[in-house]
Chains A and B, each alone.
Chain A
Amino acid sequence: MLVIILSGFIFAVFIPWLYRRFGARSGWLFALLPLGWLFYLAGQAPLVLGQGQAIEEHIPWVPSLGVELAFRLDGLGMLFALLVTGIGALVIIYGGGYLSGHPYQGRFFLLITLFMVAMLGVVLSDHLLLLFVFWELTSITSFLLIGFEHQRYGARAAAWQALLVTAGGGLALLAGLVLLSQVAGSGLISVINQNGAAIRSSSLYTAALLLILIGAFTKSAQFPFHFWLPNAMVAPTPVSAYLHSATMVKAGVFLLARLTPALAGTSLWQALVSSVGFMTLLVGALLALGQRDLKRLLAYTTVGALGTMTFLLGLGGDLAIKAAVVYILAHAFYKGALFLVAGAVDHSTGTRDIERLGNLASILPWVTLAALLAGISMAGLPPALGFLAKELFFESLMESTWPHYLSLGGAILAGAITFVVAALVAFKPFWGRTQDVPHPPHPVSVEFWLGPVILSGLGLVVGIMPALATPLIQGAVQSILQSSLKVKLALWHGITPVLGFSLLTLGLGGLGWAFYRRLWQGGEIWRKLAPWGPARLYEVGLNGLRRFAAWQTRVLQNGYLRFYVMTIVLTTVLLTGFTLLSRLAWLGVGGWGDIRFYEFVVVVLMIAAAVVIPRLRSRLATVATMGMIGYGLVLIYLIYSAPDLAMVQFAIETLTVILFVLAVYRLPKFTRLTPSPTRFLDLLVAIGGGMLMTALVLIVTARPLVPHISDYFAQNSLLLANGRNVVNVILVDFRGLDTLGEITVLALAGIGVYALVRLTLGRLMVYFEGLEEEEEAEHERAL
């Protein structure tokens, strides 16, 4: 199976080149790849489906992180892989016609092939993290495909929405999968599925389950995350048919099915999965009311269908799982076909508005045939597979513990609405009064009707002869249930209550069809309710996030250096002070007694200078006062018998004062911009900083000095390094490398000064007023 994935990626690399060579016709060529895979997979069917043996491959990838290229082709994987490759081939052929002449047709082929490989990866992975890798790849390719017509704002917004919702869910999924593999002690799905009991009794089960469900629900557009799917309909129609109906959106459902042996069966699973599924199936059906766009109608019923599948997986048990699998298959056939039909109609007439379409049967005969066949299945009419699926659905509801009036009531309502939508989509455009369309309808080429006819035909054939698909369905059911349950399917169940429910659904549907205009007017209510829907929540959340982000940035990065300095000093004082105070009983500071008078005088002078500086308005006076502090330091060095340090300090101070005086002489006086409360706060922070450093110095000097390397320097300076001046020897020998670094700094400063003076790009004069970052901040504030 690695061969499939690798060949896909390698092939994808050549697609741009092949497309340039073969042009629009290359759709037929590119379809050969999935067709080849289809035959390869079908060749494995006797083994996988007949003998119930899964084919496994294990290749190490990142063993340190426990990620393995583990693939497994079992019944469930086979079902999905066949759907992905089969529909994929048809969609690629279709894309050859549908996007003919589009400047991005080559990119379409590339992206759809990449998506197909990723989707195959999802369904064939036997490792949670490998599955996740492919899962995210489908999200990214979906993003790029939804935004295919990226010149339009709507397409960009819809692509973004779909990505953020599914990728957000994907992150929850990642956490959930990592938790699950830590609980199970393995990332291999087949191993995890054998340890279901242990996993479900783990304390982390709930967390893992919830996180995984968020991932599955966002991907499969379950309520309340369903809103991205109808918006994703801005994608080209083959994309909608393939990603957003037949395959990708089923990834969430697939994941639920895949992990059923490990996670299902608890009351939490049942309650959560089935009720979310039920809500989704109702919401999907009800929101379809009032829609006039073919694709949006199909999208909402897709949401409903995904809800049905989730509902069934939530219910669990032999019957419900069987129903779910049949439903997946039936839906893939009819919905894929109908999307492609909608695209053909759109291409032919230039509109997808059901109110404007009609009487296309004579112009699009094959498309009409496909539409009718698929419509029968969607409406749940015999003898199509859709009928069978619906019967099984009702049967599982009868068996379930849900109150029947609720579950059956909801199912019948949704079924009836689906019937009406099927009629609207598959019947109305082709018959009845003539159309009122943007351009006169033109016939379409074979690429347009081949796919729909094959898919809808399959739905009919399998409905009439379910035995054809029984091994496939049985294989999938068996791998979900991990049992050897035998599946028997028959169109005719005899006269049962279920048949009655079916008839009731059809009757209600027929009634709805008869009065569909009134019904659709009722659907207008959704437009009024939209401001309270979850899509609105997404929008509000996104805007709120942006506003919060802008506010936070304005507050933190406000452009004022004084604020930055203060925050840093404050953080230092708080964190270090807290650590110090919380750890030391009290600071044993002694030896205040031996302060001599002249030391006292020097220190008082320095403190006085420090207090005066912030109050000065003249720069010259400030420089002079700062000089006082510096010379005070010189005196202290002298008192403590460090004449060399004193000399250095003296030279530095003198030079600094002279340079400053020269530089600031022409500058204006300081202006005071900060209000008094801020200045008071500044004072507190400054005092805090000073106190912290003072306390540290006092504590440290109160402790006995640790002589260690200094003794060595004193002893060996002359002996080993031949120098009498220990400080000099330290600088140039013992720690010569430091000095190398420091002289480099000096050299750099030289280059810097030279460059600054000589090289002024942009403006020659430099103003420090109205600094750029502050201006920006002011600008933001004004907004």
Chain B
Amino acid sequence: MGDYLVLFPLIVPLFFAILSLFAWRAITWQRGLAVVGTLILFSSGIALLDVVIHEGIRTVQIGNWPPPYGISLVVDAFSAFMVVIAGGLAFLIAVFSLGSMDEARLRYGFYPLFFVLLMGVCGAFITGDIFNLYVWFEVMLMASFVLMALGGERAQLEGALKYVILNLLSSALFLSATAVLYSLTGTLNMADLSIRLRTTIAPDLVTTVAVMYLIAFSIKAAVFPLFFWLPASYHTPPVTVTALFSGLLTKVGVYALIRVFTLLFLADVAFTHTLILALGGFTMVTGVLGAAAQYDIRRLLSFHIISQIGYLLMGLGLFTQSALAATLYFMVHVIIAKAVLFLIAELLYRMGGSFDLRHLGGFYRAYPWLALGFLLPALSLAGVPPLSGFFGKLALVQAGLVEGQFVIVGVSLAVSLLTLFSMTKIWNEAFWKPASKELRSLSGSTGQRMALILPIVLMGLITLGLGLGAEPVYALAQQAAAQLLDPGAYVAAVFGGLP
């Protein structure tokens, strides 16, 4: 049973996507399916994580073709961890969507697209085959492109166009790199690649391919100087969609980077991982500066996504167990904190009538609970203790100082001050500044309002809980990081102990 569980992250979204397609006109049904489907996905992620923690890496060979000839699905602690986060976030967004999504978009396939996006994301997390990873990237790209354009507003179309063109560059590069890799090694299975790349005859060429992958995935992850698609597009679709994207899309890019730079490309760590560290530093800085210049909350938060990606790269670039663990912990933290901030932006828009900080105001006086709901994730993002972001930052700082990487540590701390700056800017403008016009209360039925509020409350509590109870999650991250640093275990799991 344990091994079939590996298939769940793929099958559940696919199944629910098809069900939602059948319920094309029955929006109420689709809504129910969305909540139930994501909940099942989340639960199966938890079950999978539990199995992986206790029994080690699980694999499935699609069609029973032996590795490396068929496609392997491989779930280690890192993969399961990511599936859990993705499932959890998807569930919360699905609940939020009950109150936030307009009927027009629901009638044109929002939920089927939502599930296919999840299928692509989870597929990327669990595949053990580099070309199959490419396929999931394509699924994700197409689903997110359509979700982004769905509605056909002018700004949406422009954003979606830039989004898809720049991401296709990434796909092209990914495919080219895979072609080169295939002709060097004759295989696509990542475990097999791991072995062959260690004994390959052309280590220098491998490093070149590594850099190609680095760029391809860095485009996906919105790393400096390749992040343009993100600020160009993320503020255009409905905020619900942006919140989902913010939690999933770039993070799949980071996942792929971590996967290939711990499993495959270890030939020249001094070069590749230092490059990653440097890119991480620039990403943090340019992202946060971009945010400092914004007044539209959605744009501001979008730039912060970029900045936080830099922190994720920092742990990979440092390339020690504690640094990788820090990155994984940071991943949970940032996905939740960032998504909930987007959701709050939606509430501010509904009640204050604008996304522009210059036109918002008065929320602290009128809605102290919303203020608290904002303050928790916002301060967490800025790394204020005892919230989740603090421990993420602390872990990275500790890992960096142990390695003597003072520059990146200094940069990361300075950037967290700038993050605090722009979070408190939102606070000053939207919450403290007197309202320029009367705030509306949330419209809609009680159920709809609950759907809008509940996910925000839950995510705020998660942020607080992740901080106060950092130990279990961090210990798990440590375990996953240890697994990542032992590619032999991955290979052994795929080949059944016979590499």
Interface residues of A (CB under 8 A from B): 60-67, 103, 107, 129, 132-133, 136-137, 140, 143, 147, 150-151, 156, 160, 163-164, 167-168, 171-172, 174-175, 178-179, 182, 207, 545-546, 548-550, 552-554, 556-557, 559, 561, 563-565, 567-569, 571-572, 575-576, 579-580, 583-584, 693, 696, 699-701, 703, 705-710, 712-713, 716, 733-738, 741-742, 744-745, 747-749, 751-752, 754-756, 758-763, 766-768, 771-773
For the complex formed, measure the closest distance between the CB of B477 and the CB atoms of chain A, giving whole angstroms.
8
State whether B428 touches A759 (Cβ < 8 A).
no
Q: Which residues of B contact A64 (CB under 8 A)?
A: 325, 471, 474-475, 478
User: Is there contact, CB below 8 Å, between A744 and B116?
Assistant: yes
Scan B387-411; emit 1 where CB is below 8 A from any A CB, else 0. Answer: 0001100110110011000100110
Q: Which residues between 364 and 420 of chain B lie within 8 Å of chain A, taking CB atoms?
A: 364-365, 368, 379, 384-386, 390-391, 394-395, 397-398, 401-402, 406, 409-410, 413-414, 416-418, 420
For the complex, give the distance between the alpha carbons of A580 and B271 in Å: 13
Q: Are A748 and B143 in contact (CB under 8 A)?
A: yes
Jot down 26 A-B pairs with beta carbons below 8 A, ordered by A.
A61-B471, A62-B474, A64-B478, A137-B385, A147-B432, A554-B293, A556-B225, A569-B169, A576-B212, A706-B184, A708-B68, A709-B187, A737-B63, A745-B138, A749-B146, A752-B145, A755-B150, A759-B108, A759-B150, A759-B151, A760-B152, A760-B153, A762-B152, A766-B152, A768-B158, A772-B158
Q: By the criterion CB–CB under 8 Å, are A709 and B225 in contact? A: no
Interface centre among B69, B211, B236, B386 (most CB of A within 10 A): B69
* Contact among B211, B365, B394 for A579, CB-based, below 8 A: B211
CB-CB nearest in chain A for B202? A703
Complex Cα distance A693/B180, Å? 10
For A546, the closest partner residue in chain B by CB is B292
Cα distance, A62 to B394, chains bound together (Å): 11
Q: Say whether B185 contacts A557, CB under 8 Å.
A: no
Q: Which residues of B contact A744 (CB under 8 A)?
A: 14, 116, 119, 139
Q: Does B316 contact A (CB under 8 A)?
A: no
Q: Is the CB of A545 within 8 A of B292?
A: yes
Min CB distance B467 to A, Å, is: 9
- The answer on a CB contact under 8 Å between A107 and B368 is yes
Write out the residue numbers on chain B whose beta carbons fall within 8 Å of the beta carbon of A700.
179-180, 183-184, 205
In the assembly, what is the distance between CA of A342 and CA of B208, in Å? 71
Q: Which of B40-48, B159-167, B255-263, B345-353 forms part of the interface with chain A?
A: B159-167
Q: Are B152 and A175 in contact (CB under 8 A)?
A: no
Identify which of B74-82, B129-137, B242-250, B489-497 touches chain A.
B129-137
Question: Which single residue of chain B is at the shortest CB-CB distance from A758?
Answer: B108
A748, B132: Cβ atoms closer than 8 Å = no
Quick check: B205 and A699 within 8 Å, CB to CB? yes
Q: Is the CB of A65 within 8 A of B394?
A: yes
Please name the 6 residue pairs, one residue from A and one from B, whose CB atoms are nearest each other, closest first. Answer: A708-B186, A706-B186, A583-B204, A752-B146, A741-B135, A760-B152
Q: Is B274 an interface residue (CB 8 A)?
A: no
Asked whether any CB of chain A lies closer than 8 Å to the CB of B226, the reply is: yes
Most B-side CB within 10 Å, residue of A696, A741, A767: A741
Give bound CA distance, A283 to B299, whole Å.
43
| Distance (whole angstroms) from the CB of A399 to the closest CB of chain B | 38
Are A579 and B208 in contact, with the CB atoms below 8 A?
A: yes
Question: How far, in angstroms, from A8 to B275 measured CA to CA in the complex?
Answer: 47
A710 nearest CB across to chain B (Å): 7
Assembly CA distance A346 to B152 (angstroms) = 60
* Docked pose: A549 CA to B299 CA in angstroms: 14
The residues of B that contact A561 with a CB separation of less than 8 Å are 161-162, 165-166, 232
Closest chain A residue to B236 by CB distance?
Answer: A772
- Contact bitstring B411-442, A, C-beta under 8 A = 1, else 0: 00110111011001000100011100000000
Please name all residues of chain B whose beta carbon is closer than 8 Å to the beta carbon of A755 when the two chains form the complex: 108-109, 146, 149-150, 152
B457 in the interface (beta carbon within 8 A): no
Q: Once the chains bind, are B470 and A62 in contact (CB under 8 Å)?
A: yes
Q: Is B27 an interface residue (CB 8 A)?
A: no
Q: Does B229 contact A (CB under 8 A)?
A: yes
With A and B bound together, what is the CA distance between A446 and B113 in angstroms?
67
Q: Which of B113, B212, B471, B475 contacts A751 (CB 8 A)?
A: B113
Cα of A96 to Cα of B428 in the assembled complex, Å: 27
Question: Is the beta-carbon distance between B166 and A564 smaller than 8 angstroms?
Answer: yes
Which of A738, A751, A772 is B112 in contact with, Cβ under 8 Å?
A: A751
Asked whether A709 and B62 contact (CB < 8 A) given A568-B169, A744-B139, A767-B154, the answer is no
* Nearest opposing residue in chain B for A572, CB measure: B215
Q: How far is the CA of A767 from the CA of B157 in the complex (A)?
A: 10
A778 to chain B, nearest CB (A): 14
With a CB–CB cut-off of 8 A, which chain A residues contact B386?
133, 137
Contact B290 A557 (CB under 8 A): yes
A172 closest partner in B (C-beta)? B413
> In the complex, A700 Cα to B434 Cα: how many Å?
65
Q: From B157, which residue of chain A is reached at the shortest CB distance?
A: A766
In the bound complex, CA of A129 to CA of B395 (Å):
12
Residues of B within 8 A of A160 (CB): 424, 428
Which B residues touch A207, using CB under 8 A? Answer: 406
Closest approach, in angstroms, between the C-beta of A121 and any C-beta of chain B?
10
CB distance from B154 to the nearest CB of A (A): 5
- Which B149-199 residues have a C-beta within 8 angstroms of A? 149-155, 157-159, 161-162, 165-166, 169, 173, 176, 179-180, 183-189, 192
- Please give, as numbers and ranges, the residues of chain A lying within 8 Å of B292 by CB-CB distance: 545-546, 549
Residue of B14, B69, B204, B294 near A713 (CB, 8 A) is B69
Task: Give Cα A341 to B205, complex, Å.
Answer: 77
With A553-B289, A752-B145, A772-B158 known, 8 other A-B pairs at CB within 8 A are A65-B394, A133-B386, A133-B390, A140-B384, A568-B225, A707-B186, A748-B143, A759-B105
A709 CA / B71 CA spacing, docked (Å): 12
Known: A576-B215, A766-B157. A748 touches B142 (CB 8 A): yes
Do A745 and B142 form a contact, CB below 8 Å, given A706-B186, A759-B151, A760-B152?
yes
- Whether B153 lies near A763 (C-beta < 8 A) is yes
- Cβ contact within 8 Å between B188 and A709: yes
